[in-house]
Amino acid sequence: MTINLANAAGKKRWIKRLVIIALVLIALLAAALLIINNTVLAASERIVSEEEAAQWQADCILVLGAGVDDDGEPNLMLRDRLNKGIELYQAGAAPKLLMSGDHGSEGYDEVNVMKDFALNAAVPSADVFMDHAGFSTYDSLYRARDIFQAERLIIVSQRYHLPRALYIAERLGLEACGVAAEDIAYAGQEFRDLREVLARCKDFCQCLLLPQPALLGETLPVSGNGDITND
């Protein structure tokens, strides 16, 4: 009986220790998430108005992909980004547009849809570059620097996403400001906000290690003719 009571007491102590360890780990994880997110969110100070961006003298306006609908048209988020990027271009904020998105297969092509949208808005084809391997925000910024030779750029995305893009740009040594696309109540935004918390942590770690993106290749300076990126 005494032995059984001792064993039971020992198990309780171990359970108590495990619970304490689990709580400490959860607290540390929560603290890390908070610190990392606050660090990345500090880049929001570089989100500017269209008027301020027009004084930026950027090499290009980087429009980040956001998805294409089944009918081959840009989804609502991407359409808002494209409209804002084109507005900036037409206001003279930069001489070129860089459309960066996913064109990883023949069956899915964001960037040609993005370029066609700009052409339909009377933007000259030569002023629209396409980054066919912008598979992530990190890849898009890395390739803007190494493939398209941009040094100073305006990033266009929704406001919730811009701090992460601007943080990555800073860590890659790019001079960048951000202009927010139209912010409306997009369907599923609560999920995107949660996903963004985790994405900030992922890209914070990537910016410590600075791995190469999935694809690189020959340089295509954004100062040239965008038609060289046509496929």
**pLDDT tens readout for residues 13-51:** 777 777 788 888 888 888 888 899 999 999 999 999 999
The Cα–Cα gap between 77 and 189 comes to: 11
Residue 195's pLDDT band (cuts 50, 70, 90): very high
Is pLDDT larger for residue 169 or for residue 193?
Answer: 169
Superfamily of domain 42-229: HUPs (3.40.50.620)
The pLDDT score that the predictor gives to residue 21 is: 82
The answer to whether residues 189 and 161 touch, using CB atoms and an 8 Å cutoff, is no
Residue 208 confidence (pLDDT) above 80: yes
5 pLDDT above the threshold of 60? no
Report yes or no on whether pTM surpasses 0.95: no
The predicted pLDDT at position 2 comes to 55
Exposure class string for 106-117: b at 16+ Cβ within 10 A, else e: eeebbbbbbbeb
C-alpha 46/C-alpha 142 separation (Å) is: 19
pLDDT tens for 122-175 read 999 999 999 999 999 999 999 999 999 999 999 999 999 999 999 999 999 999
Residue 231 is predicted with a pLDDT of 78
Percent of the chain with pLDDT over 90: 70
Model confidence pLDDT, tens digit, residues 71-118 = 889 999 999 999 999 999 999 999 999 999 988 777 789 999 999 999
